[in-house]
Structure 1
Amino acid sequence: MLAVVLTSAGLSAVAAAPSPGSTDAQYVRTAHQGNLAEIAAGQDAQKNAEDTCVKDVGAALVRDHTDLDATISRLAEKGGVSLPDTMTQEQQTALDNVKATAGSPAYDAAWLTAQEDAHTKTLALIDHQISQGTDTETTDAAKKARPVVAKHLDMVRGGTCNAT
């Protein structure tokens, strides 16, 4: 889907949404799976964490990644991009590994470590979209998501919980 606009130099094409098969569409699909993983991890922390801080960070992840995913879903719908129903196998395995420590003092540390890894990867994905994306709306969504994901990373960095 392209919208054509007139410029002083003539006609130019401006992308209006990520088209299926584009790198922008790949970002939308990958970001969606990341959001699904973060929502599930946040819900698990709320259920299984011993530390109140970890529970609070889990709640923030659920809230923020639900909001971020609403934007991603709108972009996908607008661009005709089909979204996966589940997180990636790698994300599921990471969550399963954390869940295996539920009920033990190791849970909180495992959860924080997994979230640091996940949010580091998500920031790299976002930065790639910001530098390489061609669809303005998708890149703008990445720019808006970046400070949210960076804050989440700060909340879990080094295996130390910091809910503020």
Structure 2
Amino acid sequence: MFPRRIATALAAAAVVVLPAGAAHADQPSAQDATFLRAAYQGNLAEIQGGRIAWQKTTDPAVKSLAASLMRDHIHMNADLYTVARNLKVTLPMEPTAEQKALTERYQAAEATAFDEYYVSTQLAVHREALKMASEQIEEGSEQSVKQLAEDASPIITRHQQTLRDIAEAEGIPGYGTGSRVP
């Protein structure tokens, strides 16, 4: 009985003496957990939007883009899921309300206006995704989460360039010759 009391007392003392961060060293920071959740939801939304674009467009460039977006975001989510699981971060199973609303607008868009709407909104979405990844690289603390952001950045940049190329080819306002839109 006496050895059990000593062990209990030592364990309690260790908890009191350890710094706050040491007791939760295996948990990711709020920044890391927020990034994982937001990136996962963003990828889910990209996959859904890509499916809609694949079905609605008749433009081969937009169809190819949609296939690329679906493939790349499925792969990014698989990697992200593994990291989140290792860090015990619970991921949402669906996009945000705002992302769902955009998906609904894609569904409702007239075929004649779909490509321009899809490309222009995807440019904005990818601009935000690149900003989020950059912030994670700079401010994140967990190396595996920072690595996800580093790995995603060139993919997002490639998507942005493809979107810009399509926008310019389609004559979408702000993306013609001599225009400069990030």
TM-score normalised over the length of structure 1? 0.83
Runs (4+) of structure 1 exceeding 6 A deviation are none
In the TM superposition, residue 18 of structure 1 has moved relative to its aligned partner by 5.8
**Secondary structure in 2 aligned to 1:160?**
helix
Structure 2: gaps of 5 or more residues = 1-21, 170-182
Are 2:141 and 1:139 equivalent residues in the alignment?
A: no
CA contact (8 A) 2:57 2:63 kept: yes
In the TM superposition, residue 157 of structure 1 has moved relative to its aligned partner by 2.4
Aligned partner of 2:135 among 128, 137, 152: 128
Q: What's 1:91 paired with?
A: 99
Q: Which has the higher helix share?
A: 2
User: Could you give the per-residue CA deviations for residues 3-51 of structure 1, whole angstroms, max 9, x where no partner exists?
Assistant: xxxxxxxxxx8x98762x6210110000000000000111111111121
In the TM superposition, residue 98 of structure 1 has moved relative to its aligned partner by 2.0
Q: CA RMSD in A?
A: 2.1
CA contact (8 A) 2:62 2:166 kept: no
Q: Which amino acid aligns with 2:153?
A: R
Trace 1:145-164 onto structure 2 (pairs within 5 A): 145-157=152-164, 160=167
Q: Which has the higher strand share?
A: 1
After superposition, the Cα gap between the structure-2 partners of 1:128 and 1:90, relative to the gap in structure 1 and judged at 3 Å, is same
Q: Which amino acid aligns with 1:89?
A: A
Q: What's 1:29 paired with?
A: 37
| Residue identity (%) | 31
Q: Which has the higher contact order (CA 8 A, sep 6+)?
A: 1
In the TM superposition, residue 114 of structure 1 has moved relative to its aligned partner by 1.3
Q: How many residues are aligned here?
A: 147
Aligned equivalents of 2:96 and 2:39: distance in 1? 11
After superposition, the Cα gap between the structure-2 partners of 1:56 and 1:78, relative to the gap in structure 1 and judged at 3 Å, is same
TM-score normalised over the length of structure 2? 0.75
After superposition, the Cα gap between the structure-2 partners of 1:18 and 1:58, relative to the gap in structure 1 and judged at 3 Å, is farther
